Amino acid sequence: MTADLADVSYVVKSMALTAVENESYFGDLDAVVGDGDFGYSMARGFEVVLANWDDLDRANIGKLLKAVAMTITGRMGGTSGPLWGTAFLRAAAVAGDRSELVADDVIAMLRAAIEGIKHRGKAEIGDKTLLDALVPAVDKMAADLAGGTSAAEVLRGAATVAESSAESTRDLIAMRGRASYTGERSIGTLDAGAVAVALMFKRIAEQWETRHGGMG
Stretch 99-126: mean pLDDT: 96
| Alpha helix (H) residue ranges in the chain | 5-21, 23-33, 38-51, 61-75, 80-95, 103-121, 131-146, 151-167, 192-208
Stretch 183-192: mean pLDDT: 72
Smallest CA-to-CA distance from 91 within 77, 101, 81 is with: 101
Distance separating alpha carbons of residues 202 and 212, to the nearest angstrom: 19
Angle at alpha carbon of residue 121, lines to 195 and 55, rounded to 5°? 70
- Single-letter amino acid, residue 204: I
Confidence check: pLDDT of 214 > 50: no
pLDDT band at 96 (very low <50, low <70, confident <90, very high): very high
Stretch 182-203: mean pLDDT: 84
Confidence check: pLDDT of 213 > 50: no
Confidence check: pLDDT of 38 > 50: yes
Stretch 115-125: mean pLDDT: 94
pLDDT band at 49 (very low <50, low <70, confident <90, very high): very high
pLDDT at 177: 58
Mean residue pLDDT of the chain comes to: 90
User: What letter does residue 174 receive in the DSSP assignment?
Assistant: P
Q: What is the pTM of this model?
A: 0.92
pLDDT band at 215 (very low <50, low <70, confident <90, very high): very low
Give residue-wise pLDDT tens across range 156-174: 999 999 999 999 998 787 7
Distance separating alpha carbons of residues 54 and 30, to the nearest angstrom: 31
Confidence check: pLDDT of 137 > 50: yes
- Over pLDDT 70: what percentage of the chain? 90
Q: Are the C-beta atoms of residues 8 and 64 closer than 8 Å to each other?
A: yes
Which CATH number describes the domain made up of 2-208?
1.25.40.340
pLDDT at 99: 97
